[in-house]
Amino acid sequence: MIPDMSMNKDRDKEDGPSFWVKRFAALIKTGGTVLDLACGSGRHARFLADLGYRVEAVDRNADALAGLSRDRPQVVTRVADLEGGPWPYYGRVFDAIVVTNYLYRPLLPLLLNALEVDGVLIYETFMLGNERFGKPSNPAFLLRPGELLEVTRRHLNVVAFEQGDTASPRPMKVQRLCATRRLDWILPS
């Protein structure tokens, strides 16, 4: 059992990269390809590109993506409706997948399939209990306790997991997971 961790140590700004993404970015293969899913204005895409990664940044909001690849040539942007359209990455794999502040459960198996051997999944989003802090408050967009562990533990090796309240960058209830598809970490059955 992985214990819940204190979440009050966060020090990231809302517009800067998440401390969780910063903490685990070093696990990504040097020069690797990263999918920044539902990237918004691209705070993580910019951060990862500045570290030397090739980034595919996808979001449904074309305005949010505007200027991202112009500012960072190693970032390729894609406008796609991840919930209403087809999965735009069939047959593609990435050395890392980063997801923050986004949940659409039907995509979870697709993300696992899009992770390269030795790839890293860095996921951080809201969970049940966040409704007391504001939006999102719809259970469809809130993870259940331990849900990221349940989804990934048969397919990936969990590096770190946290869930609970945090005060920074604003009060919210979140769940965070970093997991890898490292074959040398798999224990025999």
Residue 183: closest CA among 157, 161, 145: 157
* Of the listed ranges 85-94, 101-110, 126-135, 141-150, the one predicted with least confidence: 126-135
> Domain for residue 138, yes or no?
yes
pLDDT band at 124 (very low <50, low <70, confident <90, very high): very high
Instruction: Provide the domain count of the chain.
Output: 1
Would you state the pLDDT for residue 185?
56
Domain that residue 154 falls in: 19-185
> Domain for residue 11, yes or no?
no
> Domain for residue 125, yes or no?
yes
pLDDT (tens digit, 9 = 90+) per residue, 33-82?
A: 999 999 999 999 999 999 999 999 999 999 989 888 788 888 999 999 99
> Domain for residue 12, yes or no?
no
The span from the CA of 175 to the CA of 26, in Å, is 20
The span from the CA of 39 to the CA of 141, in Å, is 16
> Domain for residue 32, yes or no?
yes
> Domain for residue 170, yes or no?
yes
> Domain for residue 126, yes or no?
yes
The pLDDT of 5-19, averaged and rounded, is: 57
- Residues contacting 127, CB < 8 A, separation 6+: 142, 143, 144, 145, 147, 163, 173, 174, 175
Residue 100: closest CA among 55, 149, 39, 150: 39
CATH number at residue 178: 3.40.50.150
